[in-house]
Structure 1
């Protein structure tokens, strides 16, 4: 074996051991993912012979560079989600759409609601917010909770992993230098059929093979009186506004002259920070002030929302540090060279890395950030691969294999009243199916862009 091959093998061993350390720290020692990511990065630095001063610099530049714009975007997105929560907007969407389409189509309605309402809220928040609707409809239509609950859970998971401005999806978009508007468009294009196949279609098949225990009705929040909910149209507009603005910026790039006033104005407004800032003020009015809330109350709700994102911000910062070590140590370049020699499809590789990390670590966010750090250096070796496709491949991989080490698994299991085997057969299997379908969609889309 020549020196170059030995060096490559050692680099790959370092990468493998860093992932093992990461998994061990999170799962066995119960160390917070932020600390675990930084420690795994420091291991890479030490094992590859980086000077100690450079190790500190990598941490600082990795965390700071990643959180530079992300912290602002996530902060604004959190306010938007909080406004949807306190106003009853999610309940309004569900109630109106169910009334319009009928309870027989409830699984399809919940898929659509998850894709829309899941945009500004985290998976757990969205599922808990909408569960009372699931329970009431399942009872009235006399169908299994699985028939309605799994479609909602899968659609929320798809949005969580693939659609900015969700934190993990947006972070990976920034890390890989992808266009956020394109990622949103492509993610919805792929995510919608993915959520349908792994949601209502799969749930219909699997519901007869699983049993749900009767849920205690006292634990289900009573429906909000109709007159206290915001209007359907204004709620939908408020949720989708940031997407409209960001996608509009991407579309306008095709028609406006670069350097012109209109071009610069649209790019300014379409920047995720500005788009979300505008949307926050719209939400303050449409879902708050216009319904009798005072600015003092909105301030309180905003502060409440910020408390919930401290952990996610630190995890994303830790992911940035881990990524910086991969680049600064030269490990990423070595991985790129090896992958080129293997002639492996980079889309499948990105999907596989994210899937394995989610399976092992149990966090979609950590899996996606770690995968982006590993895949990022490969993009230069594949100039025909668009960064948007790479982002979607990572998101598709991270959807799958949701099991006992993921809090989302236990949330769905307990709320739907499933035994452990039935939770595997229904929710875990649905996430795996969604991941495979999404991969197929990404591979197909890659043929056209």
Structure 2
């Protein structure tokens, strides 16, 4: 990727970027404007304050919007279809029941962390939380443990997958912005997620559960499919892991074979492409989760159709974020930041994390934090190895999860489902996100020693 020359003086570009980010923050948090519109106005503000021709700004924005919608948007849509099939078939319940059913006592929080991570692989955080809450209620009531002790590990698993592991929107956006290798990032993301989930999940959950004791609701019934049919645990797990295996397989073949003309590598590159891997997983899920559980063609079609409307807002935010990113890149501010970081000898990983943290605290949105922070890091990854670039993606992901508070929709979702006060939610959920973010950064920095 060519280095973009700054279109104005350094102070002017920095001012333009800071004002635009501040504008986005104010519009989202104070005016309560939808992030889609806020990102559009922020992009226009960058170009205007940088002194660019507005036609060039509009071209940059639409180019970034279209590229992101084509690349990331299709993955989000396929992921939503897969998650809906998993939920409606009873496959998610099967994972939960199999893992939790074999755990007892002290092992329950660890089992819940595993369930959260597995359910979190294909599902957005909010969908996974809604799906798991009935299970958290049931396990807490049967084990006579605090809802926090049981629930925090599951939330840690969900949140870590959301921040570190493709094909979730955040990591995929950062991978696209920084031109990182998806397979390598996926592998390293799993390595980072494992210790992070352990520390922020069962370990932190046991501590938080002593501070805040919350009893599960006394009345609650779990929804089941009318016919009671579900895919088996083995079939469910194999289907959930299929896209991950295909993408990791591509990375392994690229390393082992390392010959673009080799037929095996060519096939692996196609099958391991995230779009193809998710498409294959969706088609397989239609058989294993659909036909295999007795769904008819109409029911499968209705499930697929019902999965798409809820993600329209996410798609627009992500695409608008791509437009905002492209405007930032085309002003040359990334070049300025790269030169500054090199002169100051600042750790690129630490800088990526701090930028994401600041934007996350200001906007409450992990997605906006990922989009903006990775956009500002574009020129700093020039000349880095594949592994190092992937670690920058993960550093941004870790920062985007930092201290969820009152400007984050997830904060209120957790508060209401757990029946906690604002103070209790801060002492449990918000601090868990902080522990997860910091642990993730430490894991990334440790991997940076070897990569």
Contact 1:78 1:306 in 2 (8 A): yes
Rounded to whole Å, the distance in 2 between the matches of 1:293 and 1:434 is 39
Q: Does 1:119 align with 2:121?
A: yes
Q: What's 2:245 paired with?
A: 244
Rounded to whole Å, the distance in 1 between the matches of 2:63 and 2:261 is 31
Q: Deviation of residue 154 (structure 1)?
A: 1.4
Contact 2:184 2:387 in 1 (8 A): no
Match of 1:289 among 268, 288, 291: 291
Q: Deviation of residue 185 (structure 1)?
A: 0.9
Q: What's 1:402 paired with?
A: 404
Q: What's 2:320 paired with?
A: 318
Bigger mean CA offset, 334-343 vs 73-82 = 334-343
Rounded to whole Å, the distance in 2 between the matches of 1:212 and 1:273 is 42
Rounded to whole Å, the distance in 2 between the matches of 1:170 and 1:379 is 16
Q: Deviation of residue 225 (structure 1)?
A: 8.6
Rounded to whole Å, the distance in 2 between the matches of 1:36 and 1:381 is 33
Q: Does 1:180 align with 2:189?
A: no
Rounded to whole Å, the distance in 1 between the matches of 2:264 and 2:150 is 46
Q: Deviation of residue 381 (structure 1)?
A: 6.7
Rounded to whole Å, the distance in 2 between the matches of 1:225 and 1:142 is 29
SS of match in other structure, 1:50: coil
Contact 2:12 2:49 in 1 (8 A): no
Rounded to whole Å, the distance in 2 between the matches of 1:274 and 1:307 is 22
Match of 1:203 among 167, 192, 205: 205
Q: Deviation of residue 382 (structure 1)?
A: 5.5
Give matches, 1:8-407, under 5 Å: 8-212=10-214, 214-218=216-220, 220-222=221-223, 227-256=228-257, 257-380=259-382, 386-407=388-409
Rounded to whole Å, the distance in 2 between the matches of 1:136 and 1:167 is 30
Change (3 A) 1:344 1:381: farther
Q: Deviation of residue 102 (structure 1)?
A: 2.6
Q: Deviation of residue 214 (structure 1)?
A: 4.9
Rounded to whole Å, the distance in 1 between the matches of 2:324 and 2:155 is 30
Rounded to whole Å, the distance in 2 between the matches of 1:383 and 1:11 is 28
Rounded to whole Å, the distance in 2 between the matches of 1:384 and 1:235 is 33
Q: Deviation of residue 340 (structure 1)?
A: 2.1
Contact 1:169 1:395 in 2 (8 A): yes
Contact 1:38 1:318 in 2 (8 A): yes
Q: Deviation of residue 10 (structure 1)?
A: 2.7
Count of residues in correspondence between the two structures: 444
Q: Deviation of residue 49 (structure 1)?
A: 0.9
Rounded to whole Å, the distance in 1 between the matches of 2:294 and 2:202 is 38
Bigger mean CA offset, 326-335 vs 376-385 = 376-385
TM-score, normalised to structure 2, is 0.95
Deviation readout 1:386-412 (Å, 9 max, x if unpaired)? 220111000011111111111111111
Contact 1:319 1:370 in 2 (8 A): yes
Rounded to whole Å, the distance in 1 between the matches of 2:57 and 2:228 is 58
Contact 1:132 1:223 in 2 (8 A): no
SS of match in other structure, 2:256: coil
Q: Does 1:423 align with 2:428?
A: no
Contact 1:104 1:141 in 2 (8 A): no
Deviation readout 1:193-214 (Å, 9 max, x if unpaired)? 1011011101111211113255
Q: Deviation of residue 80 (structure 1)?
A: 0.7
Q: Deviation of residue 69 (structure 1)?
A: 2.1
Contact 1:15 1:44 in 2 (8 A): yes
Rounded to whole Å, the distance in 2 between the matches of 1:52 and 1:7 is 18
SS of match in other structure, 1:160: helix
Bigger mean CA offset, 376-385 vs 317-326 = 376-385
Change (3 A) 1:383 1:138: closer
SS of match in other structure, 2:340: helix
Contact 1:151 1:200 in 2 (8 A): yes
Structure 1: gaps (5+ residues): none
Bigger mean CA offset, 290-299 vs 335-344 = 335-344
